[in-house]
Amino acid sequence: MIVMKFGGTSVEDSAAIRRLIEIVDSELPRRPIVFVSACAGVTNQLLKIADFSATGKKDQANDLIAAIRSRHEKLVDELIGAELPKNYLKGKISVYAHELKNLSQAISVLGEVTGRSRDTIASYGERLSSMIIAQAMEESSMKSMFVDAREFMITDDNYSNAVPLFDIVEEKSKKLLLPLVRDGYVVVTQGFIGSSENGITTTIGRGGSDYSASIVGSLLDAEEIQIWTDVDGVLTADPSIVKGARRIKKMSFNEASELAYFGARVLHPKTILPAIDKSIPVYVRNSRNPSYNGTLITKGDGNKECVAKSIAYKERITLLNIESSRMFLAPNFLEAVFSVFSKYQTIAHAVATSEVSVTIAIEDTTHLEELKRDISEFAEVSESAGKAIVCIVGENIRYSPGVVGRIFSALKEVRVNMISQGASEINVGFVVDEKDIGQTVQMLHEELFADAGSQGSFHEIFD
């Protein structure tokens, strides 16, 4: 059995869905379970509906509901010929549009949107796309079965960022999905959405469909997890910044995790973790170019010569500069600092310490004021916002003493605010001003990837 996940652009219109069906068809002997995202842009529209409703912009909310409705009706018209399923799907779309209107109305009466209603609204994107895709497969004579992910993806009730309860997900998905797979059905289900133990709809974080697929792939011991997207695989940098970004043919689990964690949108940050547990290979492939092999992510890449694999960046970073008021770092100073971070559940993405101070890079500023207040009881604290972390990832950075020098000499004109090398030693990260991101990533890419001869057996690793 394999798990295949198709992202928003891979289900964006009827042509994309036809390509998806062809791709799934070519994998039928390997018994696929298919996870789909909402059609590109729909989750954003749904979240806007929630915000418009809460701020009294009823007309804008209704316009978006109408747009979502007609987009999906068009999909049905273009993909489904038979009258009965066509009417059934249109009826469902109409019911969902009414439910969205009712939710929008309720939110506008309250004047605020709760996490619970935001997740319920966000779930309609995946629910709509998946039911149409499952039916379109039937039309093309594929034996498929629609399954609502909320029946097996059981999570806690931390809305918008719900955490799957693995034991229950394992038990339910084994009971529900495996018999269908054994009976030769292509299971079509949704990424991103789940349900609390009380049956309330949840979502597992933006871009979370990758994670849904890898969780189930791992729990059901899939042979392979395939992430189908709109680029040729994991690239040496974000292609929207670096035009000449190259495809990485192979990378290790650690490299891919680190890259995803530091902002490469192509994979949700947690995607790789479940695959590591069972050593399941993950392929990232282009649904617009399915004959291409994509990127294979496995246990180790076996190539000791290639130093850097890819460059990622994370924007909207704030630096907190914390100086010990006693002019030296007392043994328990860092402990005191981090206990404040722990109290407010704020993740430190990078840390640098000197004799008298510590600088911490954070992304989540929800509790910034409380963090500063608590820390100021024992240290001076100041903040600088508008920063970005840039991160160069590669298994062999640890074996290559010259690489850090090369990285920083490439950045002549860029002001570097802070440097940190990950404990895993497979990344080098540093903080720059957000406005310098484009220039920084382009210069680094030029230094590390433009010259094919500069990194050992380059052609085995990159296109």
* 8 A C-beta contact, residue 393 and residue 262: yes
Handedness of CA 263, 267, 273, 276 (dihedral sign): negative
What is 353-390 written as a DSSP string? Answer: E-SSEEEEEES--TTHHHHHHHHTTTEEEEEEEEEEEE
- In the complex, the smallest distance separating the C-beta of residue 43 from ligand ADP, rounded to whole angstroms, is 10
**Taking CB within 5 to 8 Å according to partner kind, which of Mg ion, ligand ASP, ligand ADP, none is near residue 231?**
ligand ADP
Residue 254 CB neighbours (<10 A): 21
Binder to ligand ADP among 147, 266, 272, 360 (CB under 6 A)? 266
Binder to ligand ADP among 32, 125, 194, 207 (CB under 6 A)? 207
What whole-number distance in Å separates Cα of residue 62 and Cα of residue 108?
12
Question: Which residues of the chain form contacts with Mg ion (CB under 5 A)?
Answer: 7, 207
Q: What are phi and psi of 305, to 5 degrees?
A: -90, -30
Distance of CA 1 to the CA centre of its chain: 23
**Taking CB within 5 to 8 Å according to partner kind, which of ligand ADP, Mg ion, ligand ASP, none is near residue 235?**
ligand ADP
C-alpha dist (Å) from residue 192 to 7, 268, 448:
11, 11, 35
The type of residue at 324 is S
283 torsion bin: left (phi>0), alpha (psi -120 to 50), beta (else): beta
Residue 237, H or E segment: none
**Taking CB within 5 to 8 Å according to partner kind, which of Mg ion, ligand ADP, ligand ASP, none is near residue 422?**
none
Question: Which residues of the chain form contacts with ligand ASP (CB under 6 A)?
Answer: 7-8, 37-38, 43, 125, 191-192, 206-209
Q: Which of 365, 366, 369, 388 is nearest to 317 (CA)?
A: 388
Site for ligand ADP in 35-94 (CB under 6 A): 37
- In the complex, the smallest distance separating the C-beta of residue 256 from ligand ADP, rounded to whole angstroms, is 10
What is the size of the binding site for ligand ADP (CB under 6 A)? 19
- In the complex, the smallest distance separating the C-beta of residue 96 from ligand ASP, rounded to whole angstroms, is 15
In the complex with Mg ion, which residue's Cβ is closer, 160 or 321?
A: 160
Candidates 125-133, 192-200, 226-234, 418-426 — which segment interacts with ligand ADP by CB under 6 A? 226-234
Distance of CA 272 to the CA centre of its chain: 10
Q: Using the rule CB under 6 A, is 235 a contact of ligand ADP? A: yes
What contacts 85, CB < 8 A, 6 or more positions away? 135, 138, 139
Binder to ligand ADP among 151, 230, 323, 463 (CB under 6 A)? 230
In the complex with Mg ion, which residue's Cβ is closer, 10 or 104?
A: 10
Q: Using the rule CB under 6 A, is 269 a contact of ligand ADP? A: no
The maximal CA–CA distance of the chain, rounded, in angstroms, is 78
**Taking CB within 5 to 8 Å according to partner kind, which of Mg ion, ligand ADP, ligand ASP, none is near residue 232?**
none
Binding site for ligand ADP (CB under 6 A): 7-10, 37, 207, 229-231, 234-235, 237-240, 264-266, 310
